[in-house]
Structure 1
Amino acid sequence: MHNSTIQSFLLEQLPLQEVHISGNSNHLQIIAIGEIFFGLSRVKQQQIIYSSVASYITENHIHAVSIKVYTPEEWNRARKLHADTSMSY
């Protein structure tokens, strides 16, 4: 299964601003960004994504998945932090 298929599926099913998928069907990494996560616990945030891709897992299209979720504000901070820490001097 192509990562773009899962990315499109998540964008169609949930009100997300961005979805980034990497890896392969053995271990898929999902980064989801959306206001939908605001005010929810990390567990609840991940459950939203997991429940959306559960059928892909039960049908053996995905073996394992790791999920990171961010509100747009959290995503902007995380990207800035990553950019700041990966600078070479």
Structure 2
Amino acid sequence: MASPNQVESMIKAALPDAEVQIQDLTGGGDHYQAVVVSSAFEGKTLVQQHQMVYRAVGTAMSTEEIHALALKTYTPESWAQTSQSA
């Protein structure tokens, strides 16, 4: 199973400017939620943003080190707006 730090490292390797928050949803190390904020998402649809993250962790997901990954992706601007409304 992949650790939260490993998942974060995989995402940051593909998106070096990303701010990444990983939460283990089950305590078993195979179901995660990730919040990813990156300027690389600018101009991309939500589906394209998620595809970028899934490509980053693709090997771990195909070998079932990660069974499930829930994603929330934001550009820095949309993250700032989300943070202000919270």
Same fold, judged at TM 0.5 (above): yes
Task: Select which of 46, 49, 67 maps to 1:45.
Answer: 49
Contact 2:19 2:36 in 1 (8 A): yes
Which consecutive residues of structure 2, in runs of 5 or more, have no partner in the other structure? none
Which string of whole-angstrom CA distances, capped at 9 and with x for unpartnered residues, describes residues 28-53 of structure 1? 11111111001111111110001111
Partner of 1:11: 12
State the number of aligned residues.
Answer: 82
CA distance in 2, matches of 1:5, 1:77: 28
Query: 1:56, 1:6 → 2: CA distance?
Result: 9
| RMSD value, Cα | 1.3
* 1:70 corresponds to which of 70, 74, 77: 74
Structure (1 or 2) with the greater helix fraction: 1
SS of the residue 1:28 aligns to: strand
Q: Which runs of 5+ in 1 are unaligned?
A: 83-89
Q: Deviation above 2 Å: which 4+ runs of structure 1?
A: none
Q: Which one has a bigger Cα radius of gyration?
A: 1
User: What's the % identity of the aligned pairs?
Assistant: 29
Question: Match of 1:86?
Answer: none
